[in-house]
Structure 1
């Protein structure tokens, strides 16, 4: 929960870095909330209202944390656009997001 709140505190911050742990803990909590929204949509027979609202609200924080995670592995944030390539793009991005970043003493200031 701490990582989820931290991501919301930096919801539009595209500078800096996000550790692998911070990113994946955020994604886990995000997945759980997405599943909850889908469950509410099914239970209340809404046409994905909760899921669509939650997805719209979390789009900017998801993009920001992904860009910061790419910075942590020494990649430009623009590489998140690789997701738009069919099949290969999302797999490459997933691979990069699982990589461990350099040790703090080896990092550049960027």
Structure 2
């Protein structure tokens, strides 16, 4: 849970680097929260209202942690735009997100602690 809260605390942090674990733990907790909200919405009969608001609230931190994760492998955050290419773009991004971090400092900053 600390990884999730850490990303939210760094709401507008687009510079620097994010470890692979930080990115994937944020994705995992975000997914679990969305599933929980979906269940609650179905029970209350509010399809998409609460989860839509939640998605808007975490859009910027999700983008920021994606930027930092791409920086961690030594690539420009412009590579995130490849996700707009159907199918192949998503596959390329998933490969980038699972690559190990660069073990040394790079142009985007030192190795995160």
Distance 1:86 1:108 in 2: 30
Which residue pairs with 1:41 in the alignment?
Answer: 41
Which residue pairs with 2:111 in the alignment?
Answer: none
Residue pair 2:74, 2:107 contacting (<8 A) in 1 also: no
Which residue pairs with 1:51 in the alignment?
Answer: 51
Which residue pairs with 2:16 in the alignment?
Answer: 16
Local SS of the residue matching 1:95: helix
Structure 1: stretches of 5+ with no match in the other structure: none
- Runs (4 or more) in structure 1 with deviation over 3 Å come to none
Deviations 1:31-73 (A, max 9, x none): 1001111111111111211110111111000000000000000
Local SS of the residue matching 2:95: helix
Local SS of the residue matching 2:31: helix
Which residue pairs with 2:101 in the alignment?
Answer: 101
TM-score (norm 1): 0.94
Distance 2:32 2:70 in 1: 23
Distance 2:78 2:106 in 1: 18
What root-mean-square deviation, in Å, do the aligned CA atoms of Structure 1 and Structure 2 show? 0.9
How many residues are aligned here? 108
Distance 2:107 2:67 in 1: 16
